[in-house]
Structure 1
């Protein structure tokens, strides 16, 4: 575990290097960084400066904004409000995207606490201030340290209170659910806190209001809340949360959203949210019964026509999860799923990432199903695997997915083995096995299931 160090301790070490060891400023700074790094210190958010140097003492832009925010009066009108909004927008710009180090500086120096306090003191009627404050807060929360600061500042309750009072204000909802997502990431305790505050019921209420269809962050919040991503926890509770989301109707509302109101830009996030809920056979079947498979197959067709690979991959990934149910497999195939996936692969013939998703779902559909495997080969999926392996020899993941799909096409279908071997699949599999270490196990299994005696060679 990284050793915590304060800005003051870092500055003292640089100062001692200069005063006690006679180092020049640049040498003293470099030595302090090197020494602390070797000791395993966490320097994230530390401003690497030489104390006392006029140039170095120029205020860091993040610190300047934070100082002004903290010093701002409680007034929320006229010039005061405009200045606050300007500062929040500046902080958001500094800490968003690749501004991870700026976000770390802000979090280390009280930014999370300051923004929570600002949002708590602002009324819902101060819509612009709250929306900007929540977005800025979301940009600061990047790691467990910042999520812990959020938790210790009662951030979960404050954000939930704000969201409950802003059910008709999409910009506040968007900012608030962005905070739910970032604060819950990698922190099981924060997830628990939001669930204790009934965030699932609030999400359902928000999603049932069609005027909130543009609030993409609600889908991100669902996905993060239901992802077991805290490696400090031995047994995550998120599986139970997924079942609760399904029980109260969130999965059903997500399917309706996919059918009626989700903007194309939000569709991948909505698919990821639904995938996070689909954790067992019963839930997967219920999603199908509510029209989920119909909607996704339609979205795949449209994504192919529009050449939107992000949507295509998202829908295929979700369908792969739903196809874990045998009943859903039959449903997908009855609705000409095999034909639609093959057409999608043809439209994205130059993009291995989409073809990988197609092969992945075919792999699931043909698992323990010789009838489906026979149909898949008759339609051309064996040829797809061979052509893909020939076309993308350097893509380890593509080669591996092809091997995995080939296994399911042939393991219970001797007639398919003959077809693929006659088309030269053995040579391609052995080449993938030799070139890509990550393909070795899948390639060996494919060779074995093709009936080859020397599959370990």
Structure 2
């Protein structure tokens, strides 16, 4: 585990380099970074000599350190402080003196300093920025909507990567804001951004917000502002995060339950597909919509509903029209992979020509491991338990494209694994395809994948077995009593 130091400790070293060694500020900061990293290496060497069998990570974590020299404030009534803290002090004073114009300017400055600067917003949070910004949001409710937007933007910037900052008062404020200002697109967009930031990697915040009624507000925002791409995009992102299970601090989350609630109680699928129809020329937004649909396709009937609502036709059309738009293609492939969990949808994808477009996308973006992985995974799902679909895929060049992906990305375990799974599904129920696929060089590529990647061992053996290749299948335990030999 990397060692962390405080901002004060780092600033003291920078100050010492300037005063004691007559360095300029930029040089002093650079030297301070090198000092801490060198100390970590030295400590590691000492530990390795004392404990030669122990592994040591020679690293010090400076991610959350602002690597600039603190400056004196403009008014001169305080000691040197980092710019973000000076802005925070000024914001707090302007809020206390009821100067909304000044406060609005400081909110904008604060947001700009937090955005894209992890260390600055971390330092601000450590020095009590959250209650100040939350106070600005509460005060903004009595001011004009422009001030409210700036306050919410500051809150979103501060909580980006710091969802633990949200408390009960903040949660109530966000829900109330989205309810009371639902007709104002700018306020809604800023509020949704806050929701997205406080829910990412934080299961408790997600559950608390769902209990507070956030899901109908997300779908309602899309319906109300169906012509505003920015609002729809933020609502989609927030909705998708509600279905994540990304908080390592909890044993399991409510991702599946949240997805069901969005679909069954809030007409989520219909709203998303209607939104996709409204923005045919916005690939960035269409990618967000497809990504959200893939997160909601968690049940057999949901997959079929997406097809019935016209979602499949939209996805196939997007692959045809935007095949060169890499990120959109990746999202569409993920959505096709998700809905292909339904056996009837597998056939619908083939009937719509979806497999041909998937192969075309993989061939066009062969250099992208993400697209190769998603393409193989989507074809793998379509071929599962469906020999007729396997024939269409093989005749359409799917097997050859998958093997080309294995050749192109030998170090990408995800690509190798999904390609092995695809080959296995193609031949599992149709042995006639084995020899043509072997003639393409499949055996050598699968053996190499198995040798390089432990994660591929089982799927590679399954593929080799169903291809008719010689493979050792060890029986680890027969269930008989007696001594066990490892």
TM-score tier, shorter chain, comes to 0.7 to 0.9
Q: What is the aligned partner in structure 2 of residue 122 from structure 1? A: 140
1:36-55 → structure 2 map (5 Å cutoff): none
1:310 to 323, 327, 333: 327
User: How far apart are the structure 1 equivalents of 2:437 and 2:67?
Assistant: 61
Q: What is the aligned partner in structure 2 of residue 200 from structure 1? A: 215
Q: SS of the counterpart of 1:133?
A: helix
Q: What is the aligned partner in structure 1 of residue 316 from structure 2? A: 297
Q: What is the aligned partner in structure 2 of residue 134 from structure 1? A: 152
Q: SS of the counterpart of 1:269?
A: helix
Normalized against structure 1, the TM-score is what?
0.84
1:61 to 83, 100, 103: 83
2:444 to 427, 446, 453: 427
More displaced 10-residue stretch of structure 1: 356-365 or 43-52: 43-52
Count of matched residue positions in the alignment of Structure 1 and Structure 2: 437
Deviation at 1:207, TM superposition (A): 1.2
Does residue 252 in structure 1 map to residue 267 in structure 2? no
User: How far apart are the structure 1 equivalents of 2:307 and 2:145?
Assistant: 39
Q: SS of the counterpart of 1:72?
A: helix
1:331 to 319, 335, 348: 348
Q: SS of the counterpart of 1:227?
A: coil
Q: SS of the counterpart of 1:226?
A: coil
Does residue 160 in structure 1 map to residue 178 in structure 2? no
1:213-224 → structure 2 map (5 Å cutoff): 213-215=229-231, 216-224=233-241
Cα 1:387/1:273, change in 2 over 3 Å: closer
Cα 1:139/1:345, change in 2 over 3 Å: same
User: How far apart are the structure 1 equivalents of 2:207 and 2:2?
Assistant: 25
User: How far apart are the structure 2 equivalents of 1:391 and 1:45?
Assistant: 38
Q: SS of the counterpart of 1:211?
A: coil
Runs of 5+ consecutive residues of structure 2 not aligned to the other structure: 23-27, 45-58, 475-486
Cα 1:255/1:452, change in 2 over 3 Å: same
Deviation at 1:345, TM superposition (A): 2.6
User: How far apart are the structure 2 equivalents of 1:63 and 1:184?
Assistant: 26
User: How far apart are the structure 2 equivalents of 1:287 and 1:139?
Assistant: 35
1:14-53 → structure 2 map (5 Å cutoff): none
Normalized against structure 2, the TM-score is what?
0.79
Q: What is the aligned partner in structure 1 of residue 479 from structure 2? A: none
User: How far apart are the structure 2 equivalents of 1:416 and 1:213?
Assistant: 46
Tell me the C-alpha RMSD between the 2 structures. Answer: 3.6
Deviation at 1:46, TM superposition (A): 6.5
Q: What is the aligned partner in structure 1 of residue 227 from structure 2? A: 211
- Listed one character per residue, the Cα deviations across residues 286-333 of structure 1 (whole Å, up to 9, x for unaligned) are 2221111111111111111xx101000101101100110112111111
Runs of 5+ consecutive residues of structure 1 not aligned to the other structure: none
- The question of whether the paired residues in 2 share the 8 Å contact of 1:366 and 1:409 is answered with yes
More displaced 10-residue stretch of structure 1: 100-109 or 232-241: 232-241
1:342 to 359, 371, 393: 359
